[in-house]
Structure 1
């Protein structure tokens, strides 16, 4: 099975791909991160081997990738066009479409990084659509920025990197009002993550031919810029500052599995673990991976597959 195309979601056409070797396999809805970073151009590399056991549904969110190309908006707009609630509503529509289209009684909801925020919102809105929620690089709320800043500054001081320390101290404590600050912090934290983590193979980030055209590259880049500015806001008023998952309630109607990198400086694992410990679900398990940061690597991909194969798949029987 290899289907792709635009589907009417939330009143606009949004790009959805479906891949798998057997339509009877469990269906995974992958909610990408960023925001603005769909996995569709790269999914053939890290996740292709899974297609013999699972059917994958990838969706380019509103404002991202092919969906952005179909519905372009100037990246620098100061209008608040994207919202967590709106994107989560889109995600629920995608899930309902996939369930109907594939005749799947329930889907596995799989959210990473920014997608983990939407994933929790979706799981709370429509638990009837999902057999379980699997979150990786789980974001939670304001404590993510505080702990990311604190730990990155601590590492910079310990390494004697005076220039970086000076830059970080200039940011001050979050919340921030300058749109560049969160991105600069992430660039710095990636440098320190790289010192203690195993990298992903470069081949994973080779684009599929259909996503390598000039038009596709432009759409991806503009969508990334637009989504990021909607995320951070022009005056510290972006989507990220409204994220506070505990306020949604701590009770889940479906099993929850959380997979975190021990070296993650964006979704700091201590923040995710506090949230995980506070939630109530029919079943829940937390996995902390060594030599793994916020981004994909072999350790993360193997752990994700193991959780899906040994913990989630049996729930569908």
Structure 2
């Protein structure tokens, strides 16, 4: 009898949870409103499905003034869109912010699509085509590019191949030599585990061994290793990023309930197929020079894309203009960890670009 009641209670709680998530999943984006709750004149808040290189891909487009410069955001992962955290961000005051759900990610997940399309080269072509679409859509000659984590890797390669599309590149948590970065991350987690007397984790890490790994082994390793990095504050310095990230996805109104299921499916597929390509590429060799101004926003406590590796890439990179902004209270996500300082740094970069444009005329 007691077991029966417990079963009913558990099922009831599951149904309540599903209902709660469903209620927060209309699949629409809220209008941008003024202090009286009225839509801001000339603002834009839209979800659009666009055909990109044979694949349907979604864009969240938001800005208080659609005549402002366009900023395309390349999310991390691969396969981990940050739309849920960026919808309504203060960047929308200065830009038309475009969150692109990349091929195979969340709203852009398409079951049954051939795995052969999941190559870095394909994603570079996708990014370029999305950029061209935005240039046409908003009648601008060029756009700004901002990227986080995996997106920085994709962004560098896209800017290198198609510099004519971009005014400047803002990089957050730069991937450069990710195999070396993974080795640093592994060593750091092992050291932290030993200092905390986390014997079980130490044994798991020692059994795993130091990177590199076989291509098929990366997904399983990253699934649990990144959770430990987050717990030890190497993902977000002053908080565990995982609960915040998961909560933001569950409550994201731009996603339907089905999109939230696709999110998990897309993340696994993207990491499995793309990460071996990332760790096999050294951007110091593949992209030593960019023809676009480069701004790097890097947290000193980052143990997903460690500061030392990103700094080395910055120091060796040749670009028309470049600037490193170091965040002392951030790990992998300064845009979310020190938002005021981040926005101030972006504003300064924009001013620098405006002055350079005036001087060029």
Compute the TM-score of the two structures, normalised by the length of structure 2: 0.78
- Counterparts of 2:302 and 2:116 in 1: how far apart (Å)? 29
Match for residue 136 of structure 1? Answer: 172
Deviation at 1:65, TM superposition (A): 1.1
Is 1:224 matched up with 2:267? yes
Match for residue 59 of structure 1? Answer: 100
- Counterparts of 2:80 and 2:112 in 1: how far apart (Å)? 16
Match for residue 33 of structure 1? Answer: 76
- Counterparts of 2:189 and 2:244 in 1: how far apart (Å)? 25
- Counterparts of 1:259 and 1:296 in 2: how far apart (Å)? 7
Compute the TM-score of the two structures, normalised by the length of structure 1: 0.88
Is 1:288 matched up with 2:318? no
- Counterparts of 2:351 and 2:108 in 1: how far apart (Å)? 30
- Counterparts of 1:28 and 1:64 in 2: how far apart (Å)? 20
Point out which structure has higher relative CO (alpha carbons under 8 A, 6+ apart): 1
Within a 5 Å distance, the mapping from 1:43-122 to structure 2 comes to 43-45=86-88, 47=89, 49-68=90-109, 71-73=110-112, 79-122=115-158
Unaligned residue ranges in structure 1 (runs of 5+)? 233-237
Contact 1:82 1:239 in 2 (8 A): no
Deviation at 1:313, TM superposition (A): 4.5
- Counterparts of 1:91 and 1:3 in 2: how far apart (Å)? 19
Deviation at 1:194, TM superposition (A): 6.4
Contact 1:32 1:113 in 2 (8 A): yes
What is the CA deviation profile of residues 193-224 of structure 1, one whole-angstrom value per residue up to 9, with x for unaligned ones? 1698223795982633241x322212222212
Deviation at 1:314, TM superposition (A): 4.2
Deviation at 1:297, TM superposition (A): 6.2
Within a 5 Å distance, the mapping from 1:204-215 to structure 2 comes to 205=248, 207-211=251-255, 213-215=256-258
Pair 14,151 (structure 1): closer, same or farther in 2 beyond 3 Å = same
- Counterparts of 1:43 and 1:287 in 2: how far apart (Å)? 21
- Counterparts of 2:308 and 2:234 in 1: how far apart (Å)? 19
Contact 1:27 1:107 in 2 (8 A): yes
- Counterparts of 2:323 and 2:352 in 1: how far apart (Å)? 15
What is the CA deviation profile of residues 179-200 of structure 1, one whole-angstrom value per residue up to 9, with x for unaligned ones? 4112222122111116982237
Higher helix residue share:
2
Is 1:191 matched up with 2:228? no
- Counterparts of 1:229 and 1:214 in 2: how far apart (Å)? 24
Larger radius of gyration: 2
Q: Structure 1: which 4+ aligned runs deviate by more than 4 Å?
A: 200-204
Match for residue 181 of structure 1? Answer: 221
- Counterparts of 1:315 and 1:44 in 2: how far apart (Å)? 25
Matched residue count: 304
